[in-house]
Amino acid sequence: MTTASTATAPLVNNPLMHYGPRMLQRSAAGAEEIEYRRISLCPLTTHIGAEVTGVDLASPVDDELARELRAALLEWKVLFFRGQEAMTPSAHRALVDVWGAPEANPFFPQGDSIEVSRLAKDETTFGHENIWHSDHSFMAAPALGAVLRAVEVPSAGGDTMWTDMYAVYDNLPEGLKERIEGLSAVHDWVPSWGTTMTPARIAVLRQRLPIVEHPVVVRHPRTGRRLLYVNEPFTIRIAGLPEDESRALLCELVLQARIPEYQVRFRWQPGSVAIWDNIATQHYAINDYFPQRRVMERISIAGVPLS
């Protein structure tokens, strides 16, 4: 006979399977409400992701508009724009200046500009981004953000998802927060990007891309808000812990990004643009469109060391 208590119990003892509402704060408690005059925002969720209207990204961004775009990105973590087919590579590059200097991914093919990465995936070139990750976490100063423009998209599939790492941290059990306070994690590119390289090539790149450490919990460099900063492909261990303990803890932490309540999903159209906060979020490019073609152009925004 099934009792009421056993009928509602979890089937497995999984740290991800905690039930009930989650705390999903768009901004830190006590943050000032922002009034937008130049842009309109249509939220895709309550806390992450908003579609922006009233902006032509092909035109120069003046100071007032730049201030609103910066504020909106800090508030919503990911901004989406439709109908930006007229946006040129030079406008793409100029848009990055709203947030900082451009930064090239050391492993991506470059377009007409050294900073522009052209990402073409089709029946001969498979996408491998379908894992939750934060760009450039293997660098001493990880990218602050990125601007991604859709050039060609499949008729179906090829969406991208982002997850809110503020929300991930906010919803960790208090005991787990105490356990990870003050810990650092080791980040490395070799277990992912290095799998297709010769040892000689790895040795050359290692000279300018050494193994780095970042705090497990960082304060965002522009909001000061605390977030969880570990990811599946690039975080390889928790510093100072025995191997088994490090592996178990890291597994529990990285899996938190997979919880749907923390996420937003975007369907691309030609001319769509996404700008994201690469410290406050992780992203996942869904690889479900084979053998159709998907062509994107991206410029990363240079960051600073994290603390």
Radius of gyration of the chain (CA): 20
181: amino acid identity, one letter: E
Peptide bond into 291 cis (omega under 30): yes
pLDDT bin (cut points 50, 70, 90) of residue 1 is very low
* Lowest-confidence region among 8-12, 56-60, 169-173: 8-12
Which residues lie below 8 Å from residue 69, measured CB to CB, with a gap of 6+?
Answer: 39, 52, 55, 61, 79, 98, 275
This prediction has a pTM of 0.91
Question: In whole angstroms, what is the distance from residue 72 CA to residue 74 CA?
Answer: 5
- Of 271, 286, 274, 279, nearest to 78 (Cα)? 274
Q: What is the pLDDT of residue 6?
A: 46
Alpha carbon distance 256, 254 (integer Å)? 5
Beta strands of 206-253 (E only): which ranges? 212-215, 217-219, 226-228, 235-238
Mean pLDDT confidence for 33-40:
93
| Dist. CA 127–CA 232, nearest whole Å | 17
Q: Identify the band that residue 120 occupies on the pLDDT scale cut at 50, 70 and 90.
A: low
Q: How far apart are CA 217 and CA 158, in angstroms?
A: 31
Q: Is the pLDDT of residue 110 over 60?
A: no
Q: Which residues are catalytic?
A: 133, 135, 283, 298
Conformation bin of residue 224: beta by default, left when phi > 0, alpha when psi is -120 to 50: left
Which pLDDT value is given to residue 109? 61
Mean of pLDDT values over 24-35: 89
Domains in the chain with CATH codes: 37-301 (3.60.130.10)
In this structure, how many other beta carbons lie within 10 angstroms of the beta carbon of residue 164? 29
Q: Contact at 8 Å (CB) between 22 and 261?
A: yes
pLDDT of residue 122 exceeding 70: no
Helix, strand, or coil here: 306? coil
Average pLDDT, the chain: 90
